Amino acid sequence: MDIGILGGTGPAGKALAARLASVGMSVSIGSRSAERGEETASQLREKWASRKLDLHGAANETACEADVVVVATPWDGAAHTVAALASHLEGKVVVSMANALFKVAMTSRRSCRPRLAVRGRARRRPRALVSGAFHHLPARGLANLEVPLDADVLVCSDHPAATKATIEAGEPHPGLPRRRRRHLVGGCCHRGLHRRAHRVNIRHRAHASIRLTGLNSEGA
């Protein structure tokens, strides 16, 4: 599977790119300039030279050609990035890992689902299949390929196809036992869990993540 990461030169994007490439994914690190994306990819390939990571830099427009596109930009820039690439994201599975802990107005239960909110008229919003995932994985731990992650990847989406593709993109995710990979939670719960984990990490100066227990071998 090919993965394109928008905002791949930032801490979260670089960490996810390295992890996915370490298990055989072909990853395009997207940036506003292909040169900057390639510079980041080159740094990661050099850092983990023994792993032969399939990483390459690309302009954001080119990164959108991948099977699955991940938006790893900070929340403040996610809406602008998606709006500018709307035509390239038509019909694509788009995974948002942008966190909006303090900037999301939740007016109803349905509005709580993780989605990319594009400012302006509805026609500016790309008709893509959107999911939310990877929010609960600490960037520092995600970036260190020598240390397994004892965490679960929580996926939330209104689209079965997006859910399936997002799970496949995370499998086999390093450090996550197979029996615990397939978990789906509602949007409000998804944000609530992340908010609480964030507060725990601030209070204890830690890098804790979320783990679900007591499930059977097939997961949820």
Does 52 fall in a domain? yes
pTM of the full predicted structure? Answer: 0.75
Does 187 fall in a domain? yes
- Torsion 191-167-209-46 (CA) sign: negative
Domain that holds residue 59: 2-204
How many Cβ atoms sit within 10 Å of the Cβ of residue 109?
Answer: 10
**Count of domains for the chain:** 1
Does 106 fall in a domain? yes
Does 216 fall in a domain? no
Task: Give average pLDDT by consecutive 10-residue segment, the chain, 220 residues.
Answer: 93 93 94 96 96 96 96 84 90 83 36 40 61 81 84 81 85 49 47 64 70 59
Does 57 fall in a domain? yes
For residue 86, the domain's CATH number is: 3.40.50.720
Does 219 fall in a domain? no
Q: In Å, how far are 79, 120, 201 from 98, measured between CA atoms?
A: 10, 19, 18
Angle in degrees, CA 210, 155, 188, rounded to 5:
80
d(CA 193, CA 13): 21
Contact indicator for 26, 3 with CB cutoff of 8 Å: yes
Amino acid letter, 118: V
Does 220 fall in a domain? no
d(CA 113, CA 136): 16
Q: What is the pLDDT of residue 142?
A: 85
Does 162 fall in a domain? yes
